[in-house]
Structure 1
Amino acid sequence: MDLDTVRTFLAAADAGQFQEAAAELAVTQQAVSKRIAALERDLGVRLFTRTARGAELTIDGQAFLPHARELLRVAERAAASVRTGHRPLRVDVIASRVAPSGLLRGFHRAHPEIDLDVVMLFDIETAVAAIRSGEIDASFRAVAMPGRPLPEDIAAVRVLDEPHQLLTGPAHA
């Protein structure tokens, strides 16, 4: 689904007139009509009823309206997530069900104003490369590897000791 077409649908829905939507979008009224027609073809429904006063949403148009708004919000968040200087804090965790994930959930609850993207990278080498390149800001993982110290430009701080239990079956020696 083309985002410009969705944007055009929203402009027309908000304005109630294709001509006013065209002026807002700086395109011709014919371009608005073509975009709306293309969207209606793609969806297989009529979104507007054309009237002498302009255009009114059909029931299908009313049903599509909140989803169209959400599509544009999600698209904007996606674009913002990679814009220089505006992307969320990106933190790597080794799995979603380990203690560091709980720490991040607590951090997000305590600081909801800070956008947070949690990613799960496969191994330490990938995480170190992502930190060096600026793709991520931090990584929660065990880094103790005999004979393989972390690079000098990467800092590591112990933040959590997670208890582990050994489970065995009843017949295990």
Structure 2
Amino acid sequence: MRTFVAVADAGQFQEAAAGLSITPQAVSKRVAALEKELGVRLFIRDARGARLTIDGQAFLPHARTFLHSAERAVASVRAGRRALRVDVIGRQLSLTGLLRGFHLAHPEIELDVVTLYDSDTAIAAVRDGTIDATFRAVTMPGRSLPRGVEATSVFDEPLHLFTGPRHEFANAPALTPAQLAGRRIWMPGNLPGTEWAAYYDEVSRPPQRRHLDTGMDAAQALTGN
């Protein structure tokens, strides 16, 4: 594929060979192999060099896209050259929109978003440099962060309460955790030992912190130094 694009750009097999640091014979063999695989002729060779056939012209933009994608795939994992890699708990949460806004504001910065559901795995990935940052709801109680990893509050995400149409809170614009005390509430994803379970346990214990009194879920970004 790369050889085909090189010949298309150079217009000559010999010049393409020089740019690829291979022999013209090797270029001819690679192009012939690609034409055989596709079942069409890609070039017309004459005294002026190599001209794309109609099939070659149709194939060229797709070949360029393929090479660009391959280069990005390699760069995404190559040490020292990969894109900024950020972990989010889920791709349907507000933080994903926050990262989308960052990408629109800074299109020159390549951004890869990954999903590591386990908090310990995410923190270890930050520590090891596999990812550059992770967004988490809370730091697990009783656990200190590894050396070189820091937590910073960066975003307050509203928690939505769903009730029946006749419930006393159905038309309430906002609620505090204190107003929900003593009520039975289903919390999705509230599995024992998870950071979400730790968060809800923290909400239920006085004294309540300021960001909990607002009914907001404070997300922290964990980054490595």
SS of the equivalent of 2:87 reads: strand
Does 1:38 find its partner at 2:9?
no
Matched, 1:107 2:102: yes
Once residues 71 and 105 of structure 1 are traced to their aligned partners in structure 2, the CA distance between those partners, rounded to angstroms, is 24
Structure of greater relative contact order (alpha carbons < 8 Å, 6+ residues apart): 2
Query: Which consecutive residues of structure 1, in runs of 5 or more, have no partner in the other structure?
Result: 1-5
* Larger helix proportion of the pair: 1
Following the alignment from structure 1 to structure 2, what is the Cα–Cα distance between the partners of residues 45 and 85?
Answer: 40
1:92, CA displacement in angstroms? 0.4
The alignment status of 1:18 with 2:22, answered yes or no, reads no
State whether residues 143 and 150 of structure 1, in contact with CA within 8 Å, keep that contact through their aligned partners in structure 2.
Answer: no
Name 1:155's counterpart in structure 2: 150
Shift, 1:146, TM fit:
4.2
Q: What is the DSSP-based 3-state SS (H/G/I as helix, E as strand, rest coil) of the residue aligned with 1:42?
A: helix
Q: Which moved more, 1:109-118 or 1:119-128?
A: 109-118
Say yes or no: does 1:81 pair with 2:76.
Answer: yes
Shift of 1:52: 3.3
Q: 1:116 aligns with which of 108, 111, 126?
A: 111
Which residue identity does 1:151 align to in structure 2?
Answer: L
Structure 1 residue 144, shift from structure 2 partner = 4.3
1:57 aligns with 2:52: yes
Residue number in structure 2 paired with 1:9: 4
Q: Kindly state the Cα deviation for residue 23 of structure 1 after the two structures are TM-superposed.
A: 2.4
Displacement after TM superposition at 1:35 (Å)? 0.1
Following superposition, the deviation at residue 158 of structure 1 comes to 2.2
3-state DSSP of counterpart to 2:102: helix
Residues in 1 aligned to 2:34 and 2:16: alpha-carbon distance in whole angstroms: 15
Q: Distance in 2 between matches of 1:76 and 1:108?
A: 20
User: Counterpart in 2 of 1:129?
Assistant: 124
Give the 5 Å matches for 1:61-72.
Answer: 61-72=56-67
TM-score (norm 2): 0.66
Give SS of 1:30's match. Answer: helix
Structure 2 CA distance for aligned equivalents of residues 142 and 151 of structure 1: 14
C-alpha distance in 2 between matches for 1:44 and 1:143: 58
Q: Do the aligned partners of 2:90 and 2:117 also contact (CA within 8 Å) in 1?
A: no
Distance 1:103 1:160 in 2: 9
CA contact (8 A) 2:125 2:131 kept: yes
Contact 1:124 1:143 in 2 (8 A): no
Which 10-residue stretch deviates more, 138-147 or 54-63? 138-147
| 1:93 positional shift | 0.6
More strand by share: 2
> Structure 1-normalised TM-score?
0.84
